């Protein structure tokens, strides 16, 4: 949704929901909440100042709206997403808050925006910067008010490049706002002919930037873009000046307000370039407002742009409440008023009516021609009708439409900053599809749930790293409520026991980001229609379908019918709703990994293990196969057989791999990663490797670190980690290898004698 300062625009921008009449009658006042950071890195820039701004707006408006007194309440979200969501939920559910304002910290803002839509309330973000609120994550209930990262990042990026600052390096806050600000600036820099040499990310509230500044200094960049905010900006720029970085490089604070200059000091601020939508000393009007503000501020500070934004947004919200007759009525407006958030809904209506008229016209023409002209060529008439139908399909877009790619856009595309990417390096993307195949009873359903839990918290699982917390919609057919509760509780217990996630701390986030539906009696077109509806309502990032055969409604051995269901149905819904598909699929029989001594299966072999026509494996963007390893005592091999190099999976040694080994944990229902079983584990026979293999390698490299040697043997001889350490341990005990400052060496033969 675009930013706005106009009352009329605000009235049109708030809504798309319905609030019950009983709740509206119970409201005897208009209550608004200012939710921000009042004790951390953003407290100086928003904090109590934003509260004062909201109170001033209420007083300046007369203290009432729609005939009811207006009350301002406030809370500190402490820069913790769970705390912020908890406050917003309490305000909405039990304290009758009509609207929430300010909200610096984009990660919290995105979560509250989503909740505001679910609760049918209003969120107006003045302190939140991420452009996702303005674009991809826009909702009918959100107004992004003062600024966004698109304006700041691209605006400054283009301006500085135009002045000669061609080579950039970024110092970026490691959370949603910093990532988005860096992304927008990079796009602005590249679009203007600049070059990005690299970036380094720091935690929120960092006190010592020395290690990060050293990387920036060593980059050779002309410009160091500081992509953080609040006290982080002041601290990092100050330390950069003390470090001497500004002697050869120029700093650009992408979010540096005029009010931050005194805190920096003139020396550190020399040469800084900034962009602000408001400045208190601009004219007589801003000076008068600033004077009143400063008189009420504990530190006598003047208002910055975001605090002025809170004042303006509250003032215009109250005007909107007056215009429509009450806060409850605002949330009903968007049922009738199109906006950027629901424009696709209205586009679909227009397209549907257009196609209906075209179909009626084409059908009428067919019938009329056949009746009027007795000698008509039926084949020619049907061919003409078919052409019209094809034109309508094209106009409809979706399953049988087409999209022309712009050549320049393709050439400038940056895969490392693709907004559609959800996991890995474009391994799982919005609109894309992944197949997860394995035998019945292997534990594919628990694996999908475990991945959904990890990714829902924004945490990597087996090296598969999400770009941020991912919202999953799980649609399954085989588990009733009892089965599903056992599975969910088991996965939560297992994950908590592994220790990667503090379940108590992440409970709210997991609950928000995982939705589970059981669907029975729906297949084929009926299922596709239901899926389309669920995806529209739930707005997930990805959908899990478990299993494929339960919902396809066709013979999966038939390539034509299977291809039509997948390519013209399932994938079309994913593309329309902008979600990633993860589909669970059964293999035809219990396939085990190749036995020792047998010819090893290739990744392509694994790819085509699934039951049914090969059209299934061909159609999916990525394919992953879970198979038991013969003789390993319960170890499974997860093979990322198609596009696996993009996944980012790592083995237990921390190396990138397209195959990882898993076992069921004894704690709850959970998968844990294990080392690759070596040959003696699989077969019970001695390993096939002679110790001479290691000694020969040491004769070649002569002085090598243990890990380097192990990796070399893995690459050259396919020696597993456990086999290496067992044989290498024996060689050390026998005194056949020795270590010095250069690393491990083979003991000279004369010493062996």
Say which range, 325-339, 519-533, 696-710, has the weakest mean pLDDT. 325-339
pLDDT tens-digit series, residues 31-57: 999 999 999 888 888 899 999 999 999
For 56, the enclosing helix (H) or strand (E) is helix 47-61
Residue entry with tokens 């592994």: 498
Residue entry with tokens 């959970």: 670
Nearest one of 628, 650, 626 to 639, comparing CA atoms = 626
Residue 686: the pLDDT is 43
Fold classification of 685-752 (topology level): Arc Repressor Mutant, subunit A (1.10.10)
Name the pTM for this structure.
0.47
Fold classification of 429-587+598-674 (topology level): Rossmann fold (3.40.50)
Is residue 311 within 8 Å of residue 285, measured between CB atoms?
A: no
Confidence of residue 713 (pLDDT cuts 50, 70, 90): confident
**pLDDT, average across residues 181-193:** 92
Taking 3-state DSSP, the helix, strand and coil percentages for the chain, each rounded to the nearest 5, stand at 50, 15, 35
Is residue 745 within 8 Å of residue 739, measured between CB atoms?
A: yes
Residue 391: the pLDDT is 59
Give the separation between CA 24 and CA 20, rounded to whole angstroms. Answer: 7
Give the separation between CA 613 and CA 563, rounded to whole angstroms. Answer: 9
Give the separation between CA 328 and CA 120, rounded to whole angstroms. Answer: 10
Share of the chain above pLDDT 70, in %: 83
Share of the chain above pLDDT 90, in %: 32
For the four alpha carbons of 692, 698, 701 and 704, in that order, the dihedral sign comes to positive
Q: How big is the CA angle at 473 (ends 472 and 476), to the nearest 5 degrees?
A: 130
Give the separation between CA 185 and CA 188, rounded to whole angstroms. Answer: 5
Give the separation between CA 452 and CA 454, rounded to whole angstroms. Answer: 6
Give the separation between CA 124 and CA 142, rounded to whole angstroms. Answer: 6
Q: Read off the tokens for 195.
A: 């070059």
Domain 149-269 classification at class level: alpha beta
Q: How big is the CA angle at 667 (ends 666 and 668), to the nearest 5 degrees?
A: 115
Please give the torsion angle defined by the CA atoms of residues 715, 719, 720 and 721, in that order, rounded to the nearest 10 degrees: -80
Give the separation between CA 646 and CA 649, rounded to whole angstroms. Answer: 8
| Bridge partners of residue 214, in order along the sequence | none
For the cut 60, the answer to whether the pLDDT of residue 173 exceeds it is yes
**pLDDT, average across residues 194-209:** 92
Residue 749: the pLDDT is 58
Most confident of the ranges 14-23, 240-249, 342-351: 240-249
pLDDT tens-digit series, residues 143-166: 999 988 888 889 899 999 999 999
Give the separation between CA 753 and CA 748, rounded to whole angstroms. Answer: 9
List, as one string, the DSSP characters of 441-453: TSSHHHHHHHHHH
Q: 705-740 as b/e, with b when 16 or more CB fall inside 10 Å? A: eeeebbbbbbeeeebbbbbbeebbeebeeeebbeee
For the cut 80, the answer to whether the pLDDT of residue 564 exceeds it is yes
Give the separation between CA 428 and CA 661, rounded to whole angstroms. Answer: 21
Is residue 133 within 8 Å of residue 125, measured between CB atoms?
A: yes
Q: Which CATH architecture has domain 7-147+283-335?
A: 3-Layer(aba) Sandwich (3.40)
Give the separation between CA 711 and CA 251, rounded to whole angstroms. Answer: 41
List, as one string, the DSSP characters of 212-227: HHHHHHHTT-SEEEEE
pLDDT tens-digit series, residues 468-505: 899 999 999 988 888 889 889 988 888 888 777 888 78
Q: Read off the tokens for 205.
A: 């509230």
Residue entry with tokens 């004369």: 750
Q: Read off the tokens for 69.
A: 């007194």
């Amino acid at each position: 949704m675009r930013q706005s300062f106009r009352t009329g625009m605000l009235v049109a921008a708030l809504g798309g929901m319905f609030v019950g009449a009983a709740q509206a009658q119970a409201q005897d006042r208009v209550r608004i909440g200012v939710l921000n950071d009042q004790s951390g890195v953003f407290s100086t820039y928003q904090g109590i100042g934003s509260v004062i701004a909201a109170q001033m707006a209420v007083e300046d408006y007369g203290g009432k709206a729609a005939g009811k007194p207006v009350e301002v309440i406030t809370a500190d979200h402490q820069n913790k997403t769970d705390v912020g969501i908890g406050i917003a939920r309490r305000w909405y559910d039990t304290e009758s808050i009509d609207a929430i304002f300010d909200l610096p910290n984009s990660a919290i803002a995105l979560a509250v925006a989503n909740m505001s839509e679910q609760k049918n309330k209003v969120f107006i973000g003045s302190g939140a910067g991420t452009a996702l609120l303005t674009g991809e994550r826009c909702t009918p209930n959100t107004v992004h008010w003062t600024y966004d990262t698109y304006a700041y990042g691209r605006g400054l990026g283009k301006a500085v490049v135009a002045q000669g600052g061609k080579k950039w390096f970024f110092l970026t806050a490691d959370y949603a706002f910093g990532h988005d600000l860096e992304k927008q600036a990079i796009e602005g820099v590249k679009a203007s002919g600049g070059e990005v040499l690299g970036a380094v990310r720091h935690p929120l509230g960092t006190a010592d930037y020395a290690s990060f500044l050293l990387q920036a200094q060593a980059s050779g960049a002309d410009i160091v873009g500081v992509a953080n905010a609040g006290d982080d900006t002041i601290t990092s720029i100050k330390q950069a000046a003390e470090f001497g970085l500004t002697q050869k490089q120029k700093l650009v604070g992408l979010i540096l307000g005029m009010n931050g200059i005194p805190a920096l000091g003139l020396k550190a601020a020399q040469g800084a370039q900034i962009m602000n939508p408001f400045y208190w000393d601009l004219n007589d009007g801003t000076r008068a407002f600033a004077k009143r503000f400063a008189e009420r501020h504990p530190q006598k500070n003047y208002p910055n742009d975001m605090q002025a934004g809170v004042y303006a947004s509250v003032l215009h919200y109250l005007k909107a409440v007056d215009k429509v007759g009450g806060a409850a009525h605002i949330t009903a407006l968007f049922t009738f008023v199109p906006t950027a958030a629901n424009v696709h809904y209205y586009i679909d209506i227009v397209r549907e009516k257009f196609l209906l008229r075209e179909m009626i016209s084409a059908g009428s023409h067919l019938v009329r021609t056949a009746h009027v002209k007795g000698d008509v060529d039926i084949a020619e008439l049907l061919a003409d009708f078919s052409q019209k139908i094809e034109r309508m399909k094209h106009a409809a877009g979706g399953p049988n439409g087409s999209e022309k790619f712009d050549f320049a856009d393709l050439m400038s595309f940056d895969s490392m900053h693709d907004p559609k990417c959800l996991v890995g390096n474009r391994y799982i993307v919005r609109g894309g599809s992944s197949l997860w195949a394995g035998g019945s009873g292997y534990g594919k359903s628990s694996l999908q749930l475990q991945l959904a839990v990890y990714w829902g918290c924004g945490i990597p699982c087996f090296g598969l790293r999400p770009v941020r917390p991912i919202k999953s919609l799980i649609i399954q057919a085989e588990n009733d409520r009892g089965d599903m509760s056992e599975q969910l509780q088991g996965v939560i217990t297992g994950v908590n026991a592994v220790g990667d996630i503090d379940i108590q701390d992440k409970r709210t986030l997991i609950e928000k980001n995982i939705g589970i539906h059981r669907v029975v009696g729906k297949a084929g077109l009926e299922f596709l229609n239901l899926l389309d509806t669920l995806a529209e309502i739930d707005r997930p990032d990805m959908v899990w379908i478990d299993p494929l055969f339960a919902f396809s409604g066709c013979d999966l051995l038939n390539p034509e019918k299977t291809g039509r269901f997948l390519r013209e149905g399932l994938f079309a819904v994913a593309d329309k709703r902008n979600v990633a598909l993860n589909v669970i699929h059964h293999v035809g029989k219990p396939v085990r990994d190749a036995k020792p001594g047998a010819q090893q299966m290739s990744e392509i072999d694994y790819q085509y293990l699934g039951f049914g026509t090969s059209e299934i494996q061909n159609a999916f963007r990525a394919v992953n196969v879970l198979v038991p390893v013969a003789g390993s005592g319960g170890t499974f091999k997860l093979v990322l057989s198609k596009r696996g190099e993009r996944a980012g999976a790592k083995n237990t040694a921390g190396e990138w791999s397209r195959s990882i080994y898993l076992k069921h944990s004894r704690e709850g229902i959970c998968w844990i990663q294990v080392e690759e079983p070596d040959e003696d584990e699989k077969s019970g026979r001695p390993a096939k490797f002679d110790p001479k293999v290691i000694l020969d390698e040491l004769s070649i490299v002569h002085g090598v670190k243990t890990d380097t040697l192990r990796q070399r043997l893995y690459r050259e001889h396919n020696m597993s980690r456990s086999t290496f350490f067992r044989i290498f341990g024996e060689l050390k005990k026998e005194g056949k290898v020795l270590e010095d400052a250069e690393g491990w060496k083979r003991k000279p033969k004369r010493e062996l004698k």
